[in-house]
Each structure stands twice: as C-alpha cells, then as structure tokens.
Structure 1
Amino acid sequence: MARPRKFDEQQVLRSATEVFWTSGFAAASLDDLMRATGLGKGSLYGAFGDKQALFLRVLEGYCADAAASLRDRLHGPDSSSAARLRALFDAMVTAGDPSGPPRACLLAKSTAELAATHPEVAGRARQTFTAIADLLEAEVRGAQAAGDIPADRDARRTAHHLLAVLRGMEALTEAGMDRSVLRDTADTALAAAGLR
C-alpha cells in the first residue's frame, strides 16, 4: 500500500512555478526544484514524474489561471464591454514594477524557449491564445452591440489584432520600454479596432 503524501501539492506546484518562471525550463536544475519545493528527488518525481512532466503541470496551471482571470475581468454586460477593453489595455500600460526588473509572462517565456522542440508546450500555447482570442472576440461583439465599435468590423479579426498587440505589449514591458510607448501602442490598437 502506497504511503499518503505528506506535502501540499498546490504549494509544491507554486514553488516549482517560481523556479521555472525565474530560470526558464532548461536552466532550472533538479537541485533548484528540490530546494524550492522542500522535496527530495524521489518524492518530487514520484508525485509529478520527470522535470518535463512537472513543468507541463506548472504551465497547465498557469495557463488555466490566466484564462480564468481574463474571463473574470471581461465578464459583464455589453454596455460596458468598451470600458472593459480600455481597462485591459490600460492595465497593460501600467503592468510591471518600474522599480524592479520586468518579468515576462510565463506562457510567453515558455513558448519562446520550448514551442519549437516541445509539441505539448506549443499545443498548450495555441489553446491558451485561442481561449484569449475567444474572450476578446466576445468583448468586441459586446461593444458592437452597445454601439461602441462599428457593427461592420469583423469581430474575430479584430480580436486577433488585439491579442497580437497585447502580447507585443508584454514584450515591450519586459524590454523596459517607456510607458509612453506602451500608451501609444494601446491607444492605436483600440483606435484601429474602431473603439469610440
């Protein structure tokens, strides 16, 4: 009979997330993961599998949380869809702590590092970006219903454009670009979407 686990699985995953987020997949050593989680190699691998399996669990949780957070943020009546879109882009302008080093989105970091060689990562990234595009499209359609975006705009194409700009803004933030650049980027994207 297997012995019951004597650790909090979610806490272990949170600790592993910090290691992968800070170091990336390749640079995160087993020693780093054991030190952060407080687990030995046998317990860590026994519970989560190898390093790649642990990383995929971390990425899965991060992506699910990111999509759920955006879903909550964009939830509401059509009459306030435009305001929620503006607020989303405003938050991207002010994202990050200007006094500290910028910290890239774990999904963006993981996609850049691993998508070309790890089909599971590429697939999870596509799934997450599609979910985000779906949420943005719903918000564009809501703004169209409220008369804040012209009805003749293609909502799906507009959502894809907004998604690309949001992801680009994350990269600009990570590079330490001035907030005025981010503000210009956000304003131009919203104007291009036809947001009044």
Structure 2
Amino acid sequence: MVRPRTFDEDGVLREIEQRFWDRGYAATSMSDLMSASGLGKGSLYAAFGDKEAVFSRVFDLYCDDAVGAVRVALDGPDESALDRLQRYLLRAATRAGESDVQRACFLAKTTAELAAHRSEIAERSRRTFEELVRILTACVESAQRAGDIDARADPVRLGRFLLTTLRGLEALAEAGLSKRVLLDAADTAIDVLR
C-alpha cells in the first residue's frame, strides 16, 4: 500500500527553486536538492523524479508565476494603462537597484545556462517570453485606446521593447549599476512610449 505524501509539493518545489536559482542547474547536486527540500533521496525521486525532472517542474512553476505576476500588475482599464506600465517599470528598476544580493531573473539565468543545450528549456523560455510580450502589448494597446500612446505606433514592437528594457534592467542591476542608472533607463522607456 502506497503511503500518502505528507509534504506540500509546491512548498518543496519553491525551496528547491531557490537552490537552483542561487547556484544554477549544473552546480546543484541531488544532495543540494535533498538539503533544500528536507526530503530523503527516495522521497525526492518518488515525488519528482531525477534532477532534470525536478528542474523542469521548478522551471515551469517559475515561468507560470512570472507570467501571472505581470498579468496581474498590468491588468486594468484603458484610462490607467500607461500609469500601470510606468509603475511596473519603475518598480522593476527600484527592486533591482535596491536588492542587497543582485540576482538575475531565474528565467533569464536558466535561458542563458541551458537553452543552447536543452531544447525543452529553450522552448519553455521562448513561450514564456512570448506570453510576456503579449501581456505588455495588450497594455500598450490599452494605453493607445486611452490616447496616452500614439495610436500609429506598433504595439507589438513596443511590447518587445518593454520586455527588452525589463530584462536589461535586471542584467544591469546584477552587474552592480546604481539605482539611479536603472531609474533613468526606466524613465527613458516611458518617454519613448509617450
């Protein structure tokens, strides 16, 4: 008879995520995952599979969370769409510039480390970035309907520009650039939208 699981799967995956995020895929061992999760080797394998399977679950969870967070932050009426975009960019710059431990987005780090060698990671990253562009584009279109962004501007191009700006803010913060530099970049992006 199989015993029921007595742990919170999502909670365990989030603990494991932190270990992968800190060390990267290659530098994280199964022993690290056991330590992070509090599970023994047999329980870890039974619940999630090998290291590659665990990582895939963690990465999927992170990507879903990232998309959901952006969707919630940018959802709302047309009249406040530009304000939501501005707040989102400034919050991203502020958060990145104030972090004591500079750490790039897990999606960006994973893509850089694994996408060239693992097609499923490249595909999941691509789908996630495309979904983020769709959300940003929808918010740009909303601001265009409100008359706050020129209706002649290509909203998809602006959505891609915004995603590139957000990814760049994270990379610059990880390199140690000042909060002022990051805020200036975010302000410039808003000026481009207007």
Query: What TM-score, normalized to structure 2?
Result: 0.96
The one-letter code sitting in structure 2 at the alignment partner of 1:179 is K
The 3 A distance-change label for structure 1 pair 164 and 12 is: same
- Whether the aligned pair in 1 keeps the contact of 2:78 and 2:145 (CA below 8 Å) is yes
2:41 alignment counterpart: 41
Structure 2: distance between partners of 1:87 and 1:117? 36
Structure 2: distance between partners of 1:40 and 1:97? 38
- Whether the aligned pair in 2 keeps the contact of 1:95 and 1:173 (CA below 8 Å) is no
> Which residues of structure 1 form unaligned runs of 5+?
none
- Whether the aligned pair in 2 keeps the contact of 1:78 and 1:143 (CA below 8 Å) is yes
Cα shift at 1:98: 3.3
- Whether the aligned pair in 2 keeps the contact of 1:89 and 1:166 (CA below 8 Å) is yes
Structure 1: distance between partners of 2:149 and 2:162? 13
The one-letter code sitting in structure 1 at the alignment partner of 2:55 is F
The 3 A distance-change label for structure 1 pair 99 and 13 is: closer
Cα shift at 1:133: 0.3
1:135 alignment counterpart: 135
Structure 1: distance between partners of 2:68 and 2:157? 22
Identity fraction in percent: 51
Question: What RMSD, in angstroms, separates the aligned Cα atoms of the two structures?
Answer: 1.2
Aligned pairs, number? 194
- Whether the aligned pair in 2 keeps the contact of 1:94 and 1:179 (CA below 8 Å) is yes
1:109-150: CA deviations, max 9, x gaps? Answer: 101110100111111111111111001101110111111000
> Which residues of structure 2 form unaligned runs of 5+?
none
- Whether the aligned pair in 1 keeps the contact of 2:97 and 2:177 (CA below 8 Å) is no
1:49-95: CA deviations, max 9, x gaps? Answer: 11011001001001101111111111110000000010011112201
1:2 alignment counterpart: 2
Query: What TM-score, normalized to structure 1?
Result: 0.95
Structure 1: distance between partners of 2:101 and 2:69? 23
1:7-26: CA deviations, max 9, x gaps? Answer: 22112111111111111111
Cα shift at 1:97: 6.5
